[in-house]
């Protein structure tokens, strides 16, 4: 089983749609959780951290369920510029080093 | 925000040659830097963790004699792909950790093509 698993995608949605991405992680000792965005042939960029209480940043809402080891990202009112690959990322300390473990990513394509 | 640079951004080389990739933290000191590799349509895979002044810690399946990592200063880490083969062609991305914000910042990546 992969350490971080995501919806395979791709998601093709019209502008204005609401879309949700899911992610599960296997290491219950994982400490922090993030969503990154990666555009084609570019480095990943931090979109938002994910907190147990849930957090919102404009059109983006992230949720964490530690009991189920489940993370979600909701995007409301999708824009063309939201088209990208969204990476679920888990931060774990292993062997004394902090590590970011990346999911395979879910590709989102927003069309007019 | 913190800035991490990588050089070169793109390199094409012949099979059997060695390629060095530099990763620099431009406005902060990074005691820990990370090297990732990303094949097309796949996620980033951590190759190694690099700490200034000590040997890098390699992930399982990554050959330390093939991927040489040097972290000589708090702002520079280098990855050398030795005797490169076509299967080493990939997108190599470094990141640097700063305690200041408890965050990793990624470099823009280096696209390596081995002919």
Structure tokens at A109: 């394509």
For B102, the closest chain A residue by CA position comes to A98
What per-residue confidence (pLDDT) applies to B71? 87
Q: Which two tokens stand for residue B11?
A: 């390199």
The DSSP bridge partners found for residue B33 are B50, B96
A2-54 pLDDT, tens per residue?
889 998 789 999 999 999 999 999 988 888 899 999 998 888 998 998 988 88
| Residue B46 predicted with pLDDT over 80 | yes
| pLDDT at residue B1 greater than cutoff 70 | no
Give me chain B's average pLDDT, please: 90
Quote the pLDDT of residue B2: 64
A100 and B95 in contact by Cβ < 8 A?
Answer: yes
When pLDDT is averaged across residues B58-79 and rounded to a whole number, the result is: 92
Give the span between the Cα atoms of A51 and B86, in whole angstroms: 42
DSSP result, B3-32: -EEEE-SEEEE-TT--EEEEEEESSS--SE
- What is the rounded average pLDDT of the residues B5-29? 94
| Residue pLDDT, tens place only, A64-111 | 999 999 999 999 999 999 999 999 999 887 666 678 889 999 999 999
CB contact under 8 A, B43 and A102: yes
Find the residue in B nearest to A45 (Cα): B106
Residue B5: the pLDDT is: 94
Determine how many CB atoms are found less than 10 A away from the CB of residue B51.
Answer: 18
Alpha carbons A73 and A69: distance in angstroms, whole number: 14
φ, ψ at A26 (rounded to 5°) = -100, -25
Both tokens of B100, joined, read 């200041």
Q: Nearest 5°: phi and psi at B109? A: 90, 155
CB contact under 8 A, B97 and A45: no
């Amino acid at each position: 089983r992969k350490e971080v698993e995501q919806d395979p995608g791709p998601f093709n949605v019209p502008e204005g749609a609401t879309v949700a991405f899911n992610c599960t992680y296997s290491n219950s000792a994982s400490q922090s959780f993030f969503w990154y965005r990666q555009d084609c042939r570019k480095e990943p960029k931090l979109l938002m951290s994910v907190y147990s209480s849930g957090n919102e940043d404009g059109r983006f809402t992230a949720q964490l369920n530690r009991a189920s080891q489940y993370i979600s990202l909701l995007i409301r009112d999708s824009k063309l510029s939201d088209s990208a690959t969204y990476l679920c990322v888990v931060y774990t300390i292993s062997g004394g080093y902090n590590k970011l473990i990346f999911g395979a990513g879910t590709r989102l394509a927003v069309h007019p | 925000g913190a800035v991490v640079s990588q050089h070169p951004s793109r390199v094409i080389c012949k099979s059997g040659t060695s390629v060095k990739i530099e990763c620099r933290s431009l406005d902060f000191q990074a005691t820990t830097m990370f090297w990732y590799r990303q094949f097309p349509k796949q996620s980033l895979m951590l190759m190694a963790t690099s700490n200034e002044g000590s040997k890098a810690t390699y992930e399982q399946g990554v050959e330390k004699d093939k991927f040489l990592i040097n972290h000589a200063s708090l702002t520079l880490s280098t990855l050398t792909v030795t005797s490169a083969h076509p299967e080493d062609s990939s997108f190599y991305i470094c990141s640097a950790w700063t305690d200041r914000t408890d965050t990793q910042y990624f470099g823009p990546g280096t696209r390596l093509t081995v002919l």
